[in-house]
């Protein structure tokens, strides 16, 4: 895979460049991520904050996670597309929503978290790490 990879929200109001490979790609099966994705799980690419360059206006929303941490979300105020999540206590990392990338070939989760809340009909592939909750 060649970097940088371009990404954008659905309307194109927010664009970005992912400059380097993610630290890891995770599928989260918690009920909040099911709501977010309107599917069985949400995909997140853990990246260093300085490995992404954003353009365009984003709006922020925050909620408390089950761990007690704050889960912040940045999204396009026009189309509502989530761009990334963050924990204010970990300012050097962000949780990029990689389905927004122009090349999604790197979206191969190596871990599945919160499988205690996963949909019964989804079978997790062999060879990936599996966690009942957040590791």
List the end-to-end C-alpha distance of the chain, in Å, as a whole number. 28
User: Tens digits of per-residue pLDDT, 95-127?
Assistant: 999 999 998 888 899 999 999 999 999 999 999
As a whole number, mean pLDDT of residues 84-101 equals 93
- Answer yes or no: CATH 1.10.10.10 is held by domain 5-130: no
User: Tens digits of per-residue pLDDT, 24-33?
Assistant: 999 989 888 8
How far is it, in rounded angstroms, from Cα 119 to Cα 51? 33
How far is the CA of 14 from the CAs of 3, 44, 82, 98, in angstroms? Answer: 19, 18, 10, 14
Give pLDDT, residue 69. 79
pLDDT averaged over every residue in the chain: 91
123 CB-near residues (< 8 Å, 6+ apart)? none
- Which of the pair, 20 or 66, is modelled with greater confidence? 20
Given a cut of 90, whether residue 135 has pLDDT beyond it is: no
């Amino acid at each position: 895979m060649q970097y940088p990879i371009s990404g954008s929200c659905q309307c194109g109001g927010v664009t970005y460049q992912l400059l380097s490979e993610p630290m890891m790609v995770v599928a989260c099966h918690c009920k909040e991520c099911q709501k977010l994705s309107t599917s069985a799980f949400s995909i997140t690419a853990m990246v260093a904050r300085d490995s992404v360059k954003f353009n365009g206006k984003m709006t922020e929303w925050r909620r408390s996670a089950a761990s007690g941490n704050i889960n912040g979300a940045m999204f396009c105020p026009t189309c509502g597309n989530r761009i990334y999540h963050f924990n204010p206590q970990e300012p050097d990392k962000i949780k990029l929503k990689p389905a927004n990338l122009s090349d999604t070939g790197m979206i191969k989760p190596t871990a599945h978290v919160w499988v205690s809340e996963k949909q019964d009909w989804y079978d997790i592939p062999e060879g990936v790490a599996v966690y009942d909750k957040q590791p």
